[in-house]
Structure 1
Amino acid sequence: MFHTLVNFYRPQTRDVLLKERKFIGITRYYHFDIGYITMAPDGVTKNMIVVNGQFPGPTIEANWGDWIEVEVQNNLDEGTAFHWHGLFQQQTPWADGVPGVSQCPIAPGQKLTYRFQANGYGTSWYHSHYSAQYSMGPFGPIVIHGPQSSNKYDTDLGPVLLADWYHKDYHDLVKSVIGTDPATVIGTTVSDNILINGKNSFNCSLALVGQKCSPNAPLSEFNFNTGKTHLLRIVNGGSDGTLYFSIDDHELEVIALDFVPLTPYTTTVIALGVGQRMDVLVKGTGKSTASYYMRARNSQGPGCDQSFAPPPANFALGIVRYQNAHSGQLPDSTASSFIDTCADAPITLGRPYRSQPVVTEDVHTVNIDIVAAANASGTLLWFENNSTFFTNFNDPVLRDVAAGQKSFPSKYNVYDTGNAKNVRFVIVNNSPAMHPIHMHGHTYQVLANVPNITWDGQITNPSNPLRRDTQIVGPNSTIVLQIESTNAGVWPIHCHIAWHVSAGLFVQFIEQRDSIKNLHPGNQIDGNCQAWDNWSKTHTVFQIDSGLRRMMVRSG
């Protein structure tokens, strides 16, 4: 059983808590050592970057309203930074963990303490936001306990962290992604495997020459009890692929998307783009002696970036064992069928538990057109409004805004929303690839998701639209997102496919500029940037992509 903290909120109803927000305010302390290690999660031995010597990293766990303090020690020979996915960072935008936006990277041998409040509840994850590091292992789950509604369960089985997996070093992958040959770029993003909680088996006959591979690597296992209801917290912590999750012969009752509780709906298969999360309830309908396969399958649908290897490497298996099942028994269950569309479920399906009508007055609109094209040197990149993103690690935009700076290089892709009360983002994807669009600092309302590059202005369910922080925009499609502008900071909006960010699919917006100068980061920015400046003066930084996906080597 997953360990849970004392939940101070269970005696009360959700609506009372949302109204009164009686936070206890305890601080939960964590220490992260970021270092290298050799491991074989799927039987193939590779060099990895991990947190505290383990993979996936340790679970961050807190109650709604607690403060979380994480001291990150960088034991690498390159920079690092950590993002706490889905956390709003209200009053703490400098703790968002994005190099060149909210901070400088943490220099080798240095440490930085992130402090922020758990002002959302549900399931999420953390990951390195420096380069494509997280594809090499430095990521882990976050669980924030909050009020229960009528969704009762007997056992919280904790996070089920899904991830596509690459056997190559991330530096080599980034080098290949930033290229001029489309076939090479697409081929690079083909993952070697998929993992469930850091485990799966690999067909060693597919291993490359020189790779050490041990067959029959162990699978992740989950204990079910007949007649009981189990909570599973599903996270797609991968680098590229949309993943379909299911448990053979069982239904999934979806009760939350990202950090947003829903009016429940039932299905047999759920789709998660990179960065998305779902909390599901699963009833123990099997016999006490039965076992079943849990499956995570990489989408092969249109626009899915071709990020799948030939079978059997395009799926992962886990095992659900009931209380009297034989420990060595392999299931003989059959997978659920589904239609592979490489898309989210319809936005009409997820109804937030708490209604929030769409505001249509005093709305500032930002239009973002996404295209794939080659730059002057022939390198294939992503452009937003004819500008591909490129950042400067030594010059965080948040620090500049706090100091009063109002103009930025066009390559920073900065949009200033001023002091608007509401901001609407109309994102048009003029490409044959899909993009899971993640926004920092907010959950947004999804006003529309249409399969063409024009929007007629019609809002889907205006009295209570879907809310989340990561939404897939399909090939040659449009999504419309809206936020209430109350969270002062500089917030990224980007595709969460690591390789697309490498190639520049990233913008950032300034929210409530006049309030940013009243926030006090202390040494969070300046002291860390001074350490980075000192280190980078004596080390050459070879930038081969947008800057959020960057490689560094020592110059001697």
Structure 2
Amino acid sequence: MDTSSSFLSCALFIYISLFLSFTSAEDPTVTYHFDISYITASPLGVPQQVIAINGKFPGPTINSTTNNNVVVNVRNKLDEDLLLTWAGVQQKRSSWQDGVLGTTCPIPPKWNWTYNFQVKDQIGSYFYFPSLNFQRASGGFGGFIINPRSVIPIPFDNPAGDITILIGDWYIRNHTALRHTLDAGHDLGMPDGVLINGKGPYRYNDTLVPDKIDHETINVEPGKTYRIRVSNVGVSTSLNFRIQNHNLLLAETEGSYTVQQNYTSLDIHVGQTYSFLVTMDQNASSDYYIVASARFVNESTWQRVTGVGVLHYSNSKGKASGPLPQPPQDQFDNTFSMNQARSIRWNVSASGARPNPQGSFRYGSINVTEVYILKNKAPVTINGKRRATLSGISFVNPTTPIRLADEFKVKGAYKLDFPTEPLTGPSRMETSVINGTYRGFMEVILQNNETKMHSYHVDGYAFFVVGMGYGEWTNDSRGQYNKWDGIARATTQVYPGAWTAVLISLDNVGIWNLRTENLDSWYLGQETYIRIVNPEKNNKTELPIPDNALFCGALSRMQKPQDISSGLKGHGSMVVVLSLSLIMAILSGFVV
């Protein structure tokens, strides 16, 4: 063999070895393309504008596995800015991909933008939705599943099927009209209905439910057990979920396996997701009702907006009929729902995304380094505007996102002065942010001084729900904390006139949104951010700013025109293949 051939063979061997090493080291990628646009639909029998993904409402379920890289190319066909956020999905080391205004500039109309993040060390059931301009009230949402790796055992037998159900209150007015109502200083009023997977109620009552409304049907086989993942994607209403004559065996919630318990029904608050195992063990003489009904409201007023679908056995002999299964009869028992919530416990012996048991992280023995008491109250008037507050501050979204301002040292974009306790003076509108300590352990007490239920969510983290109770939280309330198997999740309810305490291990560097999931209060300013910075400058704990980052506010001048090839960036295997072809051509030329 001559020198040229030897060089070619050696070069090819080295390059192919590097190529194989590169591709095998990469975690798998799941890729989705979302065309987000308006369509006309009639979920409650009245034509209205909804937000669809690829022409469908709701959007597709993202199906991924632990450690997968998730790539979602978004084409914004709306007439306004857009961002998607991933409720409970932790973008490890990359708040750039979080999809809220505090971290990322919005995607302008007619633009493409590609999300690219890794679902590292996670399993579980979640959903995604548009985070801007009240858009979630018009749709744009879908399920998000993170499956465990095959080498990690799950604490139950493999189900016969996996079913995603999205429930939520619904208005016939679109998100633009609802925004205008809030901007004018008014409440939204009662929703027009409750949808199940974007569809209206089954006609269980000829008087209450109009004819020719499309309803959701879930098809199952008798005797089999299915995993049913249920998310409340609505505007502001807690819903009770139940399936006629069937037990709901709770198995997981927002990335944590639970102690498995049977419920005849479960309250699912706005922004929450639960995963049930349901065995089809009933007589197939007829179909069965699937019900999502409003909670903590005037029951007689809300009767007309109950969400009803159908569970259909393959050998069913007839349609569902008769009265709907009853919701909890606890109108005069304020503790029933809270006790149900307290009964949801962490399965400390089950493995999560890794082979070690969930309970190997002994959160109850970690010293708390910082405490924040966050209190809400009924909307107030600030500078002539009706606003919602958290600890006396109504958050104002910055023109330059906080994370972007940090990266390019933009001064005055925000204040790092969010109070540890509620303000005693007048409420104010500010871009005020919590200064979190990297690798600290934060205790957050959420005090709900309103007369309605709230759900609170933290992006980028799962927190431990360690306590809840009625009345005002005090230092003595810590004596009630569950320091062993409190559930780890991303969204917790706070009952009216009550408090909920959570513990957060601040190990994920970035700027992370803390908000109410009630869209009306969120829109009016009931949110803040937790800023977590690693003081060690050379320690790579956060991914760099993405190549396709958008620029706005004080950095608008840096924004380049739309690059239609931007969606291809970040796909290393494509780059390697192209490079291999190029080297082959070069080496061929060398040999000649």
SS of residue paired to 1:168: coil
Shift of 1:296: 0.5
- Alignment partner for residue 510 of structure 2, among 483, 486, 489? 489
Is structure 2 residue 402 aligned with structure 1 residue 397? yes
- Alignment partner for residue 314 of structure 1, among 305, 308, 326? 305
Matches within 5 A, 1:13-32: 25-32=27-34
SS of residue paired to 2:437: coil
Stretch moving more, 399-408 or 189-198: 399-408
Stretch moving more, 410-419 or 487-496: 410-419
> Residues 294 and 302 of structure 2 are in contact (CA less than 8 Å); yes or no, is this contact kept in structure 1?
no
> Residues 511 and 532 of structure 2 are in contact (CA less than 8 Å); yes or no, is this contact kept in structure 1?
yes
- Alignment partner for residue 383 of structure 1, among 369, 386, 389? 389
The aligned counterpart of 1:134 is 136
Per-residue CA shift, 1:456-492, capped at 9, x if unaligned? 2225221222211111111122221111111001111
SS of residue paired to 1:417: strand
The aligned counterpart of 1:61 is 63
Per-residue CA shift, 1:251-282, capped at 9, x if unaligned? 11000112111120111001111110110011
The letter for the 1-side match of 2:154 is S
Per-residue CA shift, 1:272-306, capped at 9, x if unaligned? 111101100111121234311110101134xxxx7
In structure 2, C-alpha distance between the alignment counterparts of 1:297 and 1:363, rounded to whole Å: 41
Larger Rg: 2
The aligned counterpart of 2:341 is 346
> Residues 289 and 323 of structure 1 are in contact (CA less than 8 Å); yes or no, is this contact kept in structure 2?
no
Matches within 5 A, 1:410-449: 411-449=430-468
In structure 2, C-alpha distance between the alignment counterparts of 1:385 and 1:476, rounded to whole Å: 15
CA 1:135–1:25: 2 relative to 1, 3 Å: same
Is structure 2 residue 546 aligned with structure 1 residue 522? yes
SS of residue paired to 1:239: coil
Matches within 5 A, 1:69-468: 69-99=71-101, 101-119=102-120, 120-146=122-148, 147-180=152-185, 184-185=186-187, 188-201=188-201, 215-301=211-297, 310-326=301-317, 329-332=319-322, 334-340=324-330, 343=337, 345-353=340-348, 354-355=358-359, 356-357=361-362, 358-361=364-367, 363-392=369-398, 394-404=399-409, 408-409=414-415, 411-455=430-474, 456=476, 457-468=478-489
> Residues 254 and 265 of structure 1 are in contact (CA less than 8 Å); yes or no, is this contact kept in structure 2?
yes
SS of residue paired to 1:172: helix
Shift of 1:241: 0.6
SS of residue paired to 1:200: coil
> Residues 249 and 277 of structure 2 are in contact (CA less than 8 Å); yes or no, is this contact kept in structure 1?
yes
SS of residue paired to 2:178: helix
SS of residue paired to 1:501: helix
SS of residue paired to 1:475: coil
The letter for the 1-side match of 2:436 is T
Unaligned runs of 5+ in 1: 1-21, 208-212, 536-556
In structure 1, C-alpha distance between the alignment counterparts of 2:437 and 2:302, rounded to whole Å: 50
Stretch moving more, 84-93 or 283-292: 283-292
Shift of 1:371: 2.2
Matches within 5 A, 1:42-61: 42-61=44-63
SS of residue paired to 2:142: strand
> Residues 103 and 396 of structure 1 are in contact (CA less than 8 Å); yes or no, is this contact kept in structure 2?
yes
Shift of 1:242: 0.4
CA 1:23–1:315: 2 relative to 1, 3 Å: farther
The letter for the 2-side match of 1:224 is V
> Residues 202 and 310 of structure 2 are in contact (CA less than 8 Å); yes or no, is this contact kept in structure 1?
no
Per-residue CA shift, 1:392-424, capped at 9, x if unaligned? 2x3000112234568624711301113352111
In structure 2, C-alpha distance between the alignment counterparts of 1:528 and 1:58, rounded to whole Å: 30
The letter for the 2-side match of 1:481 is V
In structure 2, C-alpha distance between the alignment counterparts of 1:416 and 1:450, rounded to whole Å: 27
CA 1:178–1:476: 2 relative to 1, 3 Å: farther
Structure having the higher helix fraction is 2
> Residues 446 and 466 of structure 1 are in contact (CA less than 8 Å); yes or no, is this contact kept in structure 2?
yes
> Residues 485 and 512 of structure 1 are in contact (CA less than 8 Å); yes or no, is this contact kept in structure 2?
no
Per-residue CA shift, 1:202-255, capped at 9, x if unaligned? 899999xxxxx9733122111233222121111111111101000111111000
> Residues 23 and 66 of structure 1 are in contact (CA less than 8 Å); yes or no, is this contact kept in structure 2?
no
Shift of 1:386: 1.7
SS of residue paired to 2:464: strand
> Residues 287 and 322 of structure 1 are in contact (CA less than 8 Å); yes or no, is this contact kept in structure 2?
no
> Residues 410 and 554 of structure 2 are in contact (CA less than 8 Å); yes or no, is this contact kept in structure 1?
no
Q: How many residues align?
A: 498
CA 1:389–1:533: 2 relative to 1, 3 Å: farther
In structure 2, C-alpha distance between the alignment counterparts of 1:23 and 1:217, rounded to whole Å: 51
> Residues 259 and 344 of structure 2 are in contact (CA less than 8 Å); yes or no, is this contact kept in structure 1?
no
CA 1:401–1:453: 2 relative to 1, 3 Å: farther
> Residues 381 and 504 of structure 1 are in contact (CA less than 8 Å); yes or no, is this contact kept in structure 2?
yes
The letter for the 2-side match of 1:347 is R
CA 1:238–1:370: 2 relative to 1, 3 Å: same
Higher relative contact order, structure no. (Cα contacts within 8 Å, ≥ 6 residues apart): 1
Shift of 1:532: 7.0
In structure 1, C-alpha distance between the alignment counterparts of 2:395 and 2:61, rounded to whole Å: 32
Unaligned runs of 5+ in 2: 1-23, 349-357, 416-428, 560-592
SS of residue paired to 1:398: helix
The letter for the 1-side match of 2:453 is M
Could you state the TM-score of these two structures normalised by the residue count of structure 1?
0.83
In structure 2, C-alpha distance between the alignment counterparts of 1:532 and 1:110, rounded to whole Å: 16
RMSD over aligned Cα atoms:
3.0
The aligned counterpart of 2:500 is 479
Identity %: 22
Shift of 1:144: 1.3
The letter for the 2-side match of 1:434 is M
In structure 1, C-alpha distance between the alignment counterparts of 2:508 and 2:109, rounded to whole Å: 32
> Residues 161 and 196 of structure 1 are in contact (CA less than 8 Å); yes or no, is this contact kept in structure 2?
yes
> Residues 222 and 280 of structure 2 are in contact (CA less than 8 Å); yes or no, is this contact kept in structure 1?
yes
Stretch moving more, 340-349 or 122-131: 340-349
The aligned counterpart of 1:498 is 519
In structure 2, C-alpha distance between the alignment counterparts of 1:32 and 1:53, rounded to whole Å: 9
CA 1:533–1:125: 2 relative to 1, 3 Å: farther
The aligned counterpart of 2:586 is none
Shift of 1:195: 0.9
The letter for the 2-side match of 1:176 is T
Could you state the TM-score of these two structures normalised by the residue count of structure 2?
0.78
CA 1:23–1:225: 2 relative to 1, 3 Å: farther
